[in-house]
């Protein structure tokens, strides 16, 4: 992963609030770097589902991959769903989220997609908070995770995770 995204996150650590604000307002080069990372590593899917706060990342990755883009809102559910007549068989999807910590919204989106008959093949998260239960919750659903930056909560705030190897 190019350092541009990691540096954008590093500049606001250890503050969780500043990190969330940065994820909502990433510089264009950082958005592009993460979109390229996701585009290269996601399995083949028909649809990318943008979760709240990850709209720019999902849009950029969708443009690179040439996939449909659908938005998810916890209140409205999946919306902007285009006609999918050109998809043969079961539609496949990946969820795109900015910050993965408890996986409540991601599980809600996953269930909404499955309710439509879609198969969710991955969750792509820009940042994972490793102290949260998200990874276990999603892995119990059989959904692989793709995350370029792992962060740990410490008494002094957020730091880059050292317990697990960082991805490229």
pLDDT for 93: 97
* Separation CA 25–CA 35 (nearest Å): 15
Question: At 88, is the pLDDT very low, low, confident or very high (cuts 50, 70, 90)?
Answer: confident
Question: At 54, is the pLDDT very low, low, confident or very high (cuts 50, 70, 90)?
Answer: very high
Question: At 71, is the pLDDT very low, low, confident or very high (cuts 50, 70, 90)?
Answer: very high
Please give the average per-residue pLDDT across 109-123, as a whole number.
96
- As a residue count, the chain comes to 168
pLDDT for 83: 86
Residue 103 has pLDDT above 80, yes or no: yes
* Separation CA 154–CA 61 (nearest Å): 31
CATH topology of domain 3-160: Rossmann fold (3.40.50)
């Amino acid at each position: 992963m190019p350092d541009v995204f990691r540096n954008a996150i590093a500049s606001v650590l250890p503050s969780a609030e500043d990190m969330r604000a940065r994820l909502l307002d990433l510089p264009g080069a950082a958005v592009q770097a993460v979109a390229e990372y996701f585009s290269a590593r996601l399995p083949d899917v028909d649809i990318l589902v943008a979760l709240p706060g990850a709209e720019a990342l999902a849009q950029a990755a969708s443009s690179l991959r040439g996939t449909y883009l659908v938005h998810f809102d916890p209140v409205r559910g999946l919306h902007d769903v285009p006609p999918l007549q050109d998809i043969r068989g079961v539609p496949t999807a990946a969820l795109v989220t900015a910050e993965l910590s408890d996986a409540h919204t991601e599980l809600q989106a996953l269930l909404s997609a499955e309710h439509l008959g879609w198969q969710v093949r991955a969750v792509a998260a820009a940042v994972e908070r490793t102290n949260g239960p998200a990874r276990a919750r999603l892995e119990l659903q059989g959904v692989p995770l793709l995350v370029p930056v792992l962060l740990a909560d410490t008494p002094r705030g957020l730091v880059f995770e050292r317990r697990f190897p960082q991805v490229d």
